[in-house]
Homo-oligomer: A and B are copies of this chain.
Amino acid sequence: MPPVVAVDLGGTNIRAAFYSDGEPPATNSTSRPTSAADGAQAVLDHIHAAIEALAIPASARAHLAIAIGAPGPVDQARAVVLHAPNLPGWKNISLGDIMQEHWRCQVFVENDANMAVLGEWQYGSGRGAHHIVMLTIGTGIGGGVIVADRLLRGAHGLATELGHLPVQLDGPLCSCGQPGHLEALASGTAIARRVQEQGGLAQPSAAGEATTEEIAAAARAGDPVAISVLRAAAHALGTGLAGLVHTFNPELIILGGGVARAGGFFLQEVEAVLRSSLMDGAFAEGLELKPSTLGDEAALLGGLALVKTSS
């Protein structure tokens, strides 16, 4: 296999990994702040610097492939990031062309949640499964779906924006401006906002706004606001997942991202709501819900899988 660089461009960090013989584990990896507030060009400079920091030997550069995951919908044919809500100024960025011009090699641009499900499918929780729905729940909610051993991309590569499923008509506004989307009810941002609206935790976070991990810990310790907010988020998420099960009839649901890592109490609630919200018990037969096993590495390994399946 040719050498592969995988890049996971997030709102907070840029992670990059170098797979010198096109197989895991990574030969070298790096992470640096995205510095999103400094503008689109600064982020591009940081991406290049992250790849430089991998110290790729000149011999490998000649036949390198780069796979980059972006936090927003990607127009597949043109390799354009249409917009990235957590990266100010990222609107119609021709990331494929920009990377190709700079690095003079084959470049694949993909939505980051699509890369994550590819990674989990090939190297993580999803090995051996043929029909997978994955949600990455952090600042926002991303989605990736494997249908009969293929990544679901749709007509222009924009498919599976699963954070933007409407689950509450006229509900709270989402980051995209539309009402009642899953992301507006169950993302880390939505959970933190609801805790604030309900007067905060009994023992407020030292850092100001409480993180999902802190809210989950407070819920375990009996904090009534934390419990009520996480229950409401789990209700929305479990209901949305039931809709996805009716849509895709998957054998496996994988939950990734910080909110999924918040763990036990929340995930148990989500699974209970999901199972009790199915239209027929047949949908639950053989259906597993698992946390991501690859964590932050899912998208990077997905980048590797993307290059391997495309070449």
Binding site for B on A (CB under 8 A): 73, 75, 82-83, 130-131, 143, 147-148, 150, 152-162, 164-169, 171, 174, 176-178, 180-181, 235-236, 239-240, 242-243, 246-251, 277-280, 282-283, 285-286
Contact = CB atoms under 8 A, between A and B. Distances in A.
6 contacts: A73-B279, A156-B286, A159-B248, A169-B235, A178-B242, A178-B278
A24 to B, nearest CB: 27
B164 A167 contact: no
A277 B166 CA distance: 9
Given A150-B148, A176-B279, A166 B242 contact: yes
A155 B154 CA distance: 19
Given A73-B283, A82-B280, A152-B248, 15 more contacts: A73-B280, A75-B282, A130-B155, A131-B155, A143-B247, A147-B154, A158-B249, A158-B282, A161-B247, A164-B246, A166-B167, A167-B169, A168-B168, A178-B277, A178-B279
Given A243-B165, A248-B152, A158 B283 contact: yes
Nearest to A174: B279
A280 B166 contact: no
Contacts of A82: 280, 282
Contacts of A285: 156
Contact of A155 (B157, B169, B246, B250): B250
Contact of A246 (B148, B165, B239, B243): B165
Nearest to A251: B155
B176 A236 contact: no
A158 B285 CA distance: 11
Contacts of A250: 154-155
Contacts of A279: 73, 161, 164, 174, 176-178, 181
Contacts of A240: 166
